[in-house]
Amino acid sequence: MEIIIAILSGVLMTTGVYNLLQKQLLRIVIGTVLLSHGAHLFILTMGKLKTGQPPILHDGIENYTDPLPQALILTSIVISFGITSLLLVLAYRTARENNTDNMEKLRGTENE
């Protein structure tokens, strides 16, 4: 199963990068979202998948899944959410100010 999740993570990153390379702002934001999903699954596969119970302590249970990757991913989810929302608002403001969401048209002047 780890192989399959690794492939899934790869596919998410592929589509994420592909969207990132597009011209439209919305696609770029979607690309970053997909990339972060891919990364989270990547971290998850690094700990073993499904080797025990959820990491909530109960008497009589010895076998738990690895809690550390989960904590890391949790932190990462929140941060990527912050970034995504900021990017979105930035995209929205950019599109409103410049009347375009085409990245190829959003360029600095010659001397910048």
Partner 1 sequence: MLFAVLLPLLFAILVPMLSKWKHKIHTGIFVFFIPFLIFLYFIRFVGNDFTPVRQVYNWIPSLGINFDFYLDGLSLLFVLLISGIGSLVVFYSIYYLHVSERLGSFYVYLLMFMTAMLGVVLSDNLFVLYTFWELTSISSFLLIGYWHYRERSRYGAQKSMLITVFGGLSMLGGFILLTVITGTTSIQEMITQTDLILSSDYLPLIMGLILLGAFTKSAQFPFHIWLPDAMEAPTPVSAYLHSATMVKAGIFLVARFSPIFATYEWFFIIVSIVGIATLCWASYMAVRQTDLKGILAFSTISQLGMIMAMLGFGTKAAIFAAIFHILNHATFKGSLFMVAGIIDHETGTRDIRRLGGLLTVMPITATLAVFGTFSMAGIPLPFLNGFYSKEMFFEATLHLNEVVNPIANVIIPLIPYLAVFGSIFTFVYSMYFFFGVFTGPKQFDKLKIKPHEAPIGMLVSPIILVVGVVFIGLFPNSVNGTFLIHAAEAVNNAVEIKDIHFWHGWIPPLFMSLAVVGIGALLYLTREKWSNVYHVLPGKMSMNKVYDGLVKNVDTFSTRLTNTYMTGSLKTYMSIILGTIIFVTFIVMISTNGFNMEFNNLAEVTWIELAVVVIIIIAALATMFTTSKLGAILITGVVGYGVATLFVIYRAPDLALTQLVIETVSVALFLLCFYHLPKLEKRKESTGSKLNNMIISIGFGALMTLIAISAHSTEWFDPISDYFIETAYKLGGGHNVVNVILVDMRGLDTLFEIAVLGIAALAIFSLIKLRKDKEAE
Considering only residues 63 through 92, tell me which ones interact with partner 1, judged by CB under 8 A: 64-68, 70-71, 73-75, 77-79, 81-86, 88-92
| Interface pattern 15-54 for partner 1 (x via CB under 8 A) | xxxxxxxxxxxxx-xx--xx--xx-xxx-xxxxxxxxxxx
Size of the site for partner 1 (CB under 8 A): 84
Interface of this chain with partner 1, residues 91 to 110, rule: CB under 8 A: 91-93, 95-96, 100-101, 103-104, 107-108
Structure tokens at 95: 């599109």
What whole-number distance in Å separates Cα of residue 6 and Cα of residue 9? 5
Q: How far is the CB of 60 from partner 1 (least distance, A)?
A: 13
What whole-number distance in Å separates Cα of residue 100 and Cα of residue 109? 16
Contacts with 95 (C-beta within 8 Å, 6 or more apart), sequence order: 25, 101
DSSP 3-state of 12: helix
Q: How far is the CB of 88 from partner 1 (least distance, A)?
A: 5
